[in-house]
Amino acid sequence: MRHFPAFLDLQGRTVLLLGAGEALAAKATLLRAAGAELREAPRFDHALLEGCAMAVAAGAPEADLAALHAACMARGLPVNVVDRPEFCSFITPAIITREGITIGVSTGGAAPVLARLIRQKIEAVLPPLLGRVAALGAKFQAAVRARIPSLPARRAFLERALTGTPADLALSGRQQEAEAAFARLLENAEAAPRGFVQLVGAGPGAADLLTLRALRALGEADVIVHDRLVSAEVLDLARRDARRIFVGKRRAQHCVPQEGINTLLIELAREGLRVVRLKGGDPFIFGRGGEEAQALAEAGIPFEVVPGVTAALGCAAQAGIPLTHRDAARMLTFVTGHTRDGRLDLDFAALARPGQTLAIYMGLTTLPELRDGLAREGFDLRTPAALIERGGSPRQRELRGTLTELVARAPAWAGDGPVLLLLGEAVAHGALPARAEAAFA
């Protein structure tokens, strides 16, 4: 982010407009709407900057534009010269307004037309009377603070009020009824915060594979407890002021032991916080979400589980591999290749049965043991297989071959990302998706 977004209070303050033309006239309209007092001049003189809060220019001679920029930088005044980024210390975004609500969209000056197109999309989905909802919050701001001193509890109340019945009434133009509904809700609000935990699946890594419920949870969380498989792109979708706690684990290397994570979730919830336990993939598929849910239930902490796209689905989809296929596999088995107490304790006889696809999580380091165990039960080691690293993310890569070939080639191929093994005849029926082919061309 090159430019820091900010909203300036220009009520009653002087702004210099230097130059002439339609572009400057458009800026003048916006500045007047913001309450600024305009000082207009066709040519630059240093005296024009006395008492100014900022300067905007367009359509003036080149020498004047350069002089204005230099003088503003020397004085520490914000300056914007339309379509001349080298003469700007700030840029103006595409603006959406709704009676007290202002939204700015910026591309950093790189593509103003794109910013305008994004603005149009946002305009299309925002209700015309959205500002009336903001007016509700402003009218009751002091009363809400007095009634609910706890910040987490206050935030939770406002989320209910500004998305519930009071907001619906305001959006339909029934402002008096909206205020009455808000007042009733506030009268019955709990002053003490109530903690809540959401066990949320972050999916395989790509931010646009999050569910809508997961996205909403990230936007409401006070604290996010996340593991190492959660991508930075997903974390960027969380509320900016949410506290982030990393509890990542690798094989035999636990930043925080599972018992410590369970305790942490309980303690945070008892502080009255809304907690998101963000886990790669799905919380209940080899994510130890079941253990965390049990610990929360035993502690009397309310919680919910938000499922995510598990690694097998993300890997297979992006690699174009069908997990089931009428000619090859009518059963799908999820398996962990992670050892417990140094032993790979699996029912190899069941895994060696034909007509199924095996999706083996965390099996890279135990590939030789997997091969040997399957071979003992008569499994054909020439069966098609694929190792997929960082599946479902933009960094996905694959190694394909027979199980025998993958065991031999995997040590030199493997990187530092999570790896899934897909094993079965269905792997041979896969085709690279058209979108991926275009990307790799």
Q: Which residues are catalytic?
A: 227, 249
CA dist., res. 1 & res. 13, Å (int): 28
DSSP code of residue 88 = -
Cβ(194)–Cβ(214) under 8 Å? no
Beta carbons within 10 angstroms of residue 394's beta carbon: 12
| C-alpha distances in Å from residue 96, one per residue of 100, 115, 123, 124 | 10, 11, 7, 11
CA dist., res. 8 & res. 348, Å (int): 67
Contacts of 111 (CB under 8 A, 6+ apart): none
Buried b (16+ CB within 10 A) or exposed e, 112-150: beebeebbeeeeeeeeebbbbbbbbbeebeeebeebbeb
What are φ and ψ of residue 349, in 5° steps? -65, -40
130-139 and 175-187 helices, crossing angle to 10°: 40
Cβ(276)–Cβ(200) under 8 Å? yes
CA dist., res. 370 & res. 89, Å (int): 61
Q: Copy the structure tokens of residue 373.
A: 């165990």
Which residue's structure tokens are 């107490």? 341
CA dist., res. 430 & res. 321, Å (int): 4
Report the SS3 class of residue 69: helix
